[in-house]
Structure 1
Amino acid sequence: MRALTWQGKEKVSVEDVPDPGITEPTDAVIKVTSTAVCGSDLHLYSPLGAFVDPGYVLGHEPMGIVQEVGPEVTRIKPGDRVVIPFNVSCGSCWMCAHGLQSQCETTQVREQDTGASLLGFGKLYGDVPGGQAEYLRVPQAHYGAIPVPDDGEPDERYLYLSDVVPTAWQAVQYADIPAGGSVVVLGLGPIGQMSARVARHRGADQVIAVDLVPERLAMARRHGITTLDLRDTDDLPAAVRDLTGGRGPDGVIDAVGMEAHGSLGSKAAEAVQKGVGLLPDALARPMIKKFGVDRLGALYLAVSTVRRGGTLSLAGIYGGVVDPLPMLELFDKQITVRMGQANIRRWTDDLMPLVSDPADPLGVLDLRTHRLSLEEGPEAYAAFQKKQDGAIKIVLNPTVPATGALGTPSAEAEGAPPAVDRL
């Protein structure tokens, strides 16, 4: 089969790799019909490449049609349309029973001292091959694979149940926004876009989103979100206080994480990351695990922006081990901080009615900006990393050639510009 594979720092290519098969009784194999590119993929693309071997299949946001199931998989059958969460979780251990599927004790990666195995996240999370491929072996499919209606709706109606929508839902849940309260969302990539919409849907009176990319700001405004452009804002905390009665927001969602750049980033940390990236993997892995630092500009900004007694929700991924934190400010402002990988299956049953609703209350049909063939995956990664061509959410289609005419746009929100079919 064809699959998008990691080949080196900021280098991916589509290669022929062996077809997957059933290896455990709880496995399934699906034919992938859509697979999205996520901001988390960029961590492996660049700063965490030491934890990936050449030829590894990337991607953790797939959906498709079931081809084969193991003998212990009874919830789905060949021919079913399914979406696959990026957590590999069993559904029956103590952690899963307590809604912590990202910490599943059955699939925990104990040799790395990390949580549950994750699709397409490299050695740190189990080295499970990802879903940017024609076919995917789905471990723990008896619990993880989510049947969705075969109703003729575009894949984007359901695809984001694999990551984006549950991650955003958890980010808002963790932000602990009171009814009629206020929240600031830092970063308007896919998770930030959806977090702002979810917060508004769940009753936040003020939702303020911050970014510096014009297309991202425009998308948020289409959904009734107040936006602040960092290029025009010298003092973001002061600007937010002006909008929130002088006090600041009840919650701040950091949807940026370690990939902060520009005024949201730290040049020193970026230099360290680049230096480690030049080392051989055998040296780089222990360096990252013992001395890794993040670009913490977004986190510092979140701490300064949230009101006293407020809550920070960290949805963007951090991977540093010796990050310097502003403990005086955190302690003095009495800030609550919640974070972690999303527990996808904890939220999907509640979210299915929302994404299935023809009214599209969360705007899932206005998130994808590009639909490309799998063969155009390398172009997709480069454009997404560099924020080129208005790329906010890119969906790859493994079932079509790179013709440049890959179907019609799925954006349906009023005022949404047409999504483009190639870069």
Structure 2
Amino acid sequence: MRALTYHGAKDLRIDTVPDPVIEQPDDIVLRVTATAICGSDLHIYRGKIPMVDDGDVLGHEFMGVVEEVGAGVRDIRKGDRVVVPFTISCGECFFCRLQQYACCETTNDGRGAILNRKAITPPAALFGYSGLYGGVPGGQAELVRVPKANVGPLVVPGSLGDEQVLFLSDILPTGYQAALNAEVGEGSTVAIFGAGPVGMMAAACCRMLGAERILMVDQYRYRLDFAVQAYGVEEINFEECDDPAELIIERTGYRGVDASIEAVGFEAKGSVTETVLTAAKLEGSSGKALRQCIAATRRGGMVSVAGVYAGFIHAFMFGDAFDKGLTFRMGQTHVQRYMVELLQFIEDGRLVPDAIISHRMKLADAPRGYEIFEEKQEDCRKVVLTP
């Protein structure tokens, strides 16, 4: 089969690799009909994620038609069309029983990214995301093996097109979990830092949950313009505003928002000091977006972190968070917990996740798709690939 493979930073290629086969009784093999480039894929593309080997197949947002079914698969049949969560979870361990599927302690033979690990078990394996998370081949390919198929894949109705449901695999549940973690409800005021795909999905979910005001911070005019039109946000361009949190405080009567959602992650554009510390590997992530969240949120408010972070963070300003009595919630998304509910919202027309798609390309053009997405060319918001 043909698949997108990694060969170093900014060196992705379409290669011919062996077809996947059933390895365990609860596996399925999927013929991919749609896949997408995720913002977290760009961390790999930039060479920022360790333990990615030459030839690794990328991609964790995908769906398709079932080609083969293992003997232990219960509810999925050959020919079913399914969307697959990016987390691989067993459904039976301590964490899965709590519906904390991203914490599954049985599927990942890697170590995860935690530094002060002690003897704790690693988090769930992820598709297409380095040996830290199991080294499982991803779905930016013609075919993919899906382990733990009794827990992950969701059969989707034929009345909905692939693009309408594809983002159930990652960014839509991630945006939804971010909004729930922020306790967004009727009348809420929310600041969202980052107008990438996850930030857009968070805005859509906040609006659906009844948020009264959504203030969105980003540096790209075209993304902010789209968010204003699609979700009615109040835009703040941090290329034009040195301190977005200060402006947010002013706009909320000098109180702050009820909640901030951080949808940028560890490569947020930080200070010169942070750039130097990161280059010297004395810091794992830029803390600028987190500091902005802490500053913009009212006393007693929520900070919901959907962006990916790793390692040490300079100037976290924990004292400010304590003084304000803030609550932090964060972590990988427990996708399986939300998929059925979100599918219903899509069917009801309450969510239209495919509205953010700006580019549709063939899998053969995936390297160019990564370049467009990375460089923010052609007003790129989200790239969907079809084999």
TM-score, normalising length: structure 2? 0.94
* Deviation for aligned residue 1:292: 4.8
Contact 2:286–2:313 (Cα < 8 Å) also in 1 = no
One-letter code aligned to 2:258: D
Contact 1:184–1:253 (Cα < 8 Å) also in 2 = yes
Greater than 3 Å deviation, 4+ residue runs: 108-113, 266-276, 321-324
TM-score, normalising length: structure 1? 0.86
One-letter code aligned to 1:169: Y
Describe the shift of the 1:175–1:56 C-alpha distance in structure 2 as closer, same or farther (beyond 3 A): same
* Deviation for aligned residue 1:238: 2.2
Please name the residue that 1:378 is paired with: 367
CA distance in 1, matches of 2:367, 2:16: 15
The DSSP-based 3-state class of the residue aligned with 1:310 is: strand
Q: 1:388 aligns with which of 354, 360, 377?
A: 377
Please name the residue that 1:327 is paired with: 318
Q: 2:262 aligns with which of 254, 266, 272?
A: 254
Please name the residue that 1:27 is paired with: 27
One-letter code aligned to 2:170: D
CA distance in 2, matches of 1:16, 1:46: 23
* Deviation for aligned residue 1:48: 2.9
Describe the shift of the 1:60–1:104 C-alpha distance in structure 2 as closer, same or farther (beyond 3 A): same
Please name the residue that 1:179 is paired with: 186
Describe the shift of the 1:87–1:296 C-alpha distance in structure 2 as closer, same or farther (beyond 3 A): same
* Deviation for aligned residue 1:268: 3.8
* Deviation for aligned residue 1:323: 4.6
Describe how 1:194-209 pairs up with structure 2 within 5 A.
194-209=201-216
Please name the residue that 2:134 is paired with: 126
Please name the residue that 1:238 is paired with: 246
CA distance in 2, matches of 1:271, 1:54: 28
CA distance in 2, matches of 1:148, 1:215: 32
Please name the residue that 1:305 is paired with: 296
Contact 1:266–1:296 (Cα < 8 Å) also in 2 = no
Please name the residue that 1:363 is paired with: 352
Give identity over the alignment, percent. 41
Q: 2:218 aligns with which of 211, 214, 227?
A: 211
One-letter code aligned to 1:309: G
CA distance in 1, matches of 2:48, 2:122: 15
CA distance in 1, matches of 2:157, 2:205: 23
- Whether 1:165 and 2:172 are equivalent positions in the alignment is yes
Aligned residues: 378
CA distance in 2, matches of 1:269, 1:77: 51
Describe the shift of the 1:16–1:108 C-alpha distance in structure 2 as closer, same or farther (beyond 3 A): closer
Describe how 1:63-82 pairs up with structure 2 within 5 A.
63-82=63-82
CA distance in 2, matches of 1:47, 1:308: 38
Please name the residue that 1:101 is paired with: 101
Aligned-residue RMSD, C-alpha = 1.6
Contact 1:168–1:195 (Cα < 8 Å) also in 2 = yes
Please name the residue that 1:189 is paired with: 196
Q: 1:140 aligns with which of 148, 160, 163?
A: 148
Please name the residue that 1:344 is paired with: 335
One-letter code aligned to 1:346: R
Contact 2:67–2:79 (Cα < 8 Å) also in 1 = yes
Unaligned runs of 5+ in 1: 277-290, 399-423
One-letter code aligned to 1:331: F
The DSSP-based 3-state class of the residue aligned with 1:193 is: helix
Q: Give CA-to-partner distance per residue, 1:249-305, whole Å, 9 cap, x none.
A: 0100000011212xxx244444454566xxxxxxxxxxxxxx551122111111111
Describe the shift of the 1:271–1:59 C-alpha distance in structure 2 as closer, same or farther (beyond 3 A): farther
Please name the residue that 1:413 is paired with: none
* Deviation for aligned residue 1:29: 0.4
- Whether 1:154 and 2:161 are equivalent positions in the alignment is yes
* Deviation for aligned residue 1:163: 0.4
CA distance in 1, matches of 2:20, 2:283: 34
- Whether 1:2 and 2:2 are equivalent positions in the alignment is yes
Q: Give CA-to-partner distance per residue, 1:179-236, whole Å, 9 cap, x none.
A: 3111000000000001011001101111111111111111111122221121222331
Q: Give CA-to-partner distance per residue, 1:50-96, whole Å, 9 cap, x none.
A: 31000000000000000001011121111110000001011222211
Describe the shift of the 1:94–1:241 C-alpha distance in structure 2 as closer, same or farther (beyond 3 A): same
CA distance in 2, matches of 1:322, 1:257: 12
CA distance in 2, matches of 1:273, 1:136: 35
Greater alpha carbon shift after TM alignment, 182-191 vs 9-18: 9-18
Describe the shift of the 1:323–1:214 C-alpha distance in structure 2 as closer, same or farther (beyond 3 A): same
